[in-house]
A and B are shown apart, each in its own frame.
Chain A
């Protein structure tokens, strides 16, 4: 019964979305206030219905209702409750339902909180949001019904992919989707603005909190996914440049660019058509991600069940939404009048460079991700593009970005004072060079790129701290005065400092764990000793343990340093009989200085197994935890900025474009 209710309310949600996709926008062009207002009710109604459907599916998973095909395929009665709940979004259908729920939630969010947005803009935006809803709800209902029954019902389910039975990954899709799909509302705002033919600082101010909210969750989602890959896959890597990783990373890169260009539109009324384009492209890349993950277009370690039929449907959706919006852009963007003017050395110019680099980086990732497909289509050759390409192309761009990232906040709007700038950053530059040289002296043996990256990270960190210190006049005035100044600074400013510092911390973690990683892979019988990064590790043997829905071989590794016991690690190799698959559970000794990472693999051959020998993988990854700490700083910085008074209190009156005689910005 409950699944049928779920199915039924989805159909109702589709009906509401259909109404919302026509009525408010028609009202906006006719000036009919009632029609426009209807969007409010339909948007909130939509999210309620989709939430009921989602709850219905979750209920089926919680009670293990094996009459529902989706539950049979992705759950098992013995699975821990947490993963039964997480199983709701573990499949193609369930995750698509989550996708739509978030889409509807963002629409309802604008309907609910957007009292400061003019009625017409709001009506158009919500209509555009409803177009997306219609597309995806019909996709779900027509091709991927999550509530499909199965007859006769089997006694038990097939279990969720054991790799996914993990706390980090249970939370990864909701966060990632919140980010991915959150950009939909920004897209809707952009399309609405194009339809209206007007973009101004007020528009940028309405868009910014939504962009920021999406960006924050996308950051958290990507970091969580990376963390999961780090400890669950058993390789000790945190980023693999896998197509599916890339498709989540591209919206992040472009979303970051959007976040910054929206500031310029908001503060200086410039970069207008560029901001609009970024808003469209960011969501387009999110859609592209959805398409690639669900169509089997590229090879990846974590794609959903491949179905060309579904792929075709999503491609159709893509063609309409991306093609339509970009065509609209091509038609309307040239008519937008350029605003705010600036000098080559100014905050605007700094942000322009930031945007260009981020866009180029996105293009690089896009190219690397799709190159195998394009090459195959053109020449028939099959290749895969791996980390060497991305590292060679991407890292130098990021280093250039970091240089400007440190510099940017020092620049003032319109026209920056070069002499004063040099004066303020000289000290920082010297400090960064000293730090890099010190690293070179102390940590010989790393690749040259690593030292350059250290230079970049140190520069960014010091420059960010210096800029913050300048703002609150630290050490120039009494401390109490500095604290007072810090309090009075807008939260967005602290947010920026924190986020930029987070990037520097993140970089340090990436550099340490990739350039100075040590790794030992040994084929070990009990009693084997391994020495790595100053630790002496003794393999004491493996025992079999029984989990709720798995059997595990648990290795015991005693870690000593200079003869003294540090810790005992228990990496596991788990076998899930129902799903017939295995996972590695690495055991990690984490400190700020670095992670001692161990995992164990069962030897494939039985005769070796009898001898009690195992493959051990032991890594030492210096500073790797800084990656997660840096990500957390990014998220906190974003949240701080989101809580800024400016974004909470009513939007300002529409600003008049400032008159000036300098060169146009666009």
Chain B
């Protein structure tokens, strides 16, 4: 009886059986890495904006406080995006002919907000409240990174649920003293100082891992 398969079929069969394990392992590893990569999380991906607004220039160059523009960050869920009037509080006087700011002037004339490209987009099923984080002493820098060194804004952290829970499990090291919350250059406190702040702010660490804290 003639052979159906060539002799090499044996080698191919063995290679494919052993190889299959590596292919599966490789596929799983790729999935694992891809899920955490900037491709999916947009971490450290610089976003184009309608106006080339530089946080670096405004924060470290001019020393403007975060709250000057993000006015509701201490009290509301949303930190708040500044209306064009806020820009114009300075730019009606300086750089008021600059072509880079044509979009801003147009926005004011037409009464139409500037359509910024969102950098941090929390999913709709997550209830995130800026106010509570700031009130309990979480420094801006812990989530947003050194915004004072960003010419155009990017996401400093992955903002995966894993990352959120990392801090919800153990918030102490991320806390800042009242005067340092908005100071992006302030260093982290020592373990004992952090624990003191947890006590002082009455942070219910045992309940921070409950599903309903964020998913309501």
On whether the two chains bind one another, the answer is no
B-side residues, CB < 8 A to A, are none
